[in-house]
Amino acid sequence: MTLPTKVTLVEVGPRDGLQNEKTPIATATKIKLIKQLQAAGLTRIEATSFVAKNKIPQLADAREVITGLDLTDPNCQISALVPNTQGLDAALDCGVKEIAVFTSVSDTFNQKNIGCSIDESLTRIEAVTRKAKPLGLRIRGYISCIAACPYEGNKAPGLTAKLTRQLFDLGCDEVSLGDTIGVATPNTIEAIINAVAKAHSLDTIALHCHNTYGQALANIFHALTLGVHIIDSSVAGLGGCPYAKGATGNVATEDVVYLLHGLGIETGIDLNQLITCGKWISHELGRTVQACVTNAS
| 155-163 own/partner pairs: CB under 8 Å, 24+ apart | 155/105, 155/106, 157/191, 157/192, 157/194, 157/195, 157/196, 158/195, 159/105, 160/105, 160/192, 160/195, 160/196, 161/192, 161/195, 161/196, 161/198, 161/199, 162/199, 163/103, 163/105, 163/118
E strands in the chain: 8-11, 44-49, 77-81, 98-104, 138-144, 148-149, 153-154, 174-179, 205-209, 230-233
CA distance 64 to 31: 9
User: CB of 107 within 8 A of CB of 68?
Assistant: no
- The reported pLDDT for the residue numbered 22 is 86
Residues with catalytic function: 241
- pLDDT value, residue 44: 98
| pLDDT, position 110 | 78
Count of alpha carbons within 13 angstroms of residue 49, beta-carbon side: 24
* Helix pair 216-226, 186-197: axis angle to 10 deg: 30
Question: What total of structural domains would you count in the chain?
Answer: 1
Nearest one of 218, 170, 222, 213 to 192, comparing CA atoms: 222
The DSSP H or E segment spanning 94 is none
| Residue 107 pLDDT | 85
The answer to whether residue 27 is domain-embedded is: yes
Q: Are 105 and 146 in contact (CB under 8 A)?
A: yes
Predicted local confidence at residue 199, as pLDDT? 85
Could you tell me the pTM of the whole model?
0.95
Residue 3 forms part of a structural domain: no
55 located within any domain: yes
| Domain-located, residue 2 | no
Range of the domain at 102: 8-296
- pLDDT on residue 109: 86
List of the chain residues with pLDDT < 70: 240-248
The confidence score (pLDDT) of residue 240 equals: 62
Q: Please report, for the domain that includes residue 107, its CATH number.
A: 3.20.20.70
Average pLDDT, the chain: 94
